[in-house]
């Protein structure tokens, strides 16, 4: 049973490292001349683990490596893959959090921008003059120069 679970995990990890963001690679290299982002670094390391696993598999199939060594090395690589997977999930999560925060900030900025210019709200009728005016566009009341409420 444990063996089956181990196999399933190994298969999952192999599938994980076997798809090292191949589809995103083009986009990433297009926008970033140098891969310096944590995600790109993780992707690169994943690719390395994947290459190592592939080599290991090849050497084992070719009979160049003992079954014992093969298992040990494979476990090492898969362990590394698991660490990288956890790290990339963390990074993805952080990225999502960043995106969320950015949206939040953008929304607040937009809100602030759309706020009526308090300085030009008519004290007489409450009309929100959209542009700086000396007299209310609605009722003509003089809008005094008040200190800005900041
Ligand atoms: Zn007015």
For residue 8, the CA-to-ligand 1 centroid distance in Å is: 73
Provide the pLDDT for residue 68: 94
For residue 128, the CA-to-ligand 1 centroid distance in Å is: 8
Residue 80 to residue 14: CA distance in whole angstroms: 11
DSSP string, 70-115: HHHHHHHHHHHHHHHHHHHHHHHHHHHHHHHHHHHHHHHHHHHHHS
For residue 136, the CA-to-ligand 1 centroid distance in Å is: 5
Residues 6+ apart with CB under 8 A from 13: 78, 81, 82, 85
Provide the pLDDT for residue 26: 46
For residue 120, the CA-to-ligand 1 centroid distance in Å is: 10
- Here the tokens at position 17 are 């490292």
For residue 123, the CA-to-ligand 1 centroid distance in Å is: 7
CA angle 59–64–66, rounded 5-degree value = 100
Number of H helices, E strands in the chain: 4, 0
For residue 112, the CA-to-ligand 1 centroid distance in Å is: 23
| Local structure of 142: helix, strand or coil | strand
For residue 108, the CA-to-ligand 1 centroid distance in Å is: 28
Q: What is the mean pLDDT of each run of 10 residues along the chain (150 residues)?
A: 66 64 48 65 88 94 93 93 88 85 84 64 85 86 64
Provide the pLDDT for residue 69: 93
For residue 135, the CA-to-ligand 1 centroid distance in Å is: 8
Provide the pLDDT for residue 5: 64
DSSP one-letter code for 11 = H
For residue 129, the CA-to-ligand 1 centroid distance in Å is: 8
């Amino acid at each position: 049973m444990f063996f089956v679970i181990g196999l399933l995990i190994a298969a999952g990890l192999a599938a994980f490292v076997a798809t090292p963001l191949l589809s995103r690679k083009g986009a990433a290299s297009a926008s970033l001349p140098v891969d310096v982002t944590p995600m790109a670094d993780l992707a690169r390391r994943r690719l390395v683990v994947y290459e190592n696993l592939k080599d290991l598999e090849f050497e084992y199939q070719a009979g160049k490596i003992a079954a014992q060594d093969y298992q040990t090395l494979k476990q090492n690589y898969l362990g590394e893959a698991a660490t990288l997977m956890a790290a990339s999930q963390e990074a993805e999560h952080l990225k999502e959090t960043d995106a969320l925060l950015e949206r939040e900030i953008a929304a607040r900025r937009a809100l602030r921008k759309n706020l009526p210019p308090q300085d030009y709200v008519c004290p007489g009728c409450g009309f929100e003059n959209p542009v700086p005016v000396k007299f209310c566009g609605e009722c003509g009341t003089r809008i005094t120069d008040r200190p800005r409420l900041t």
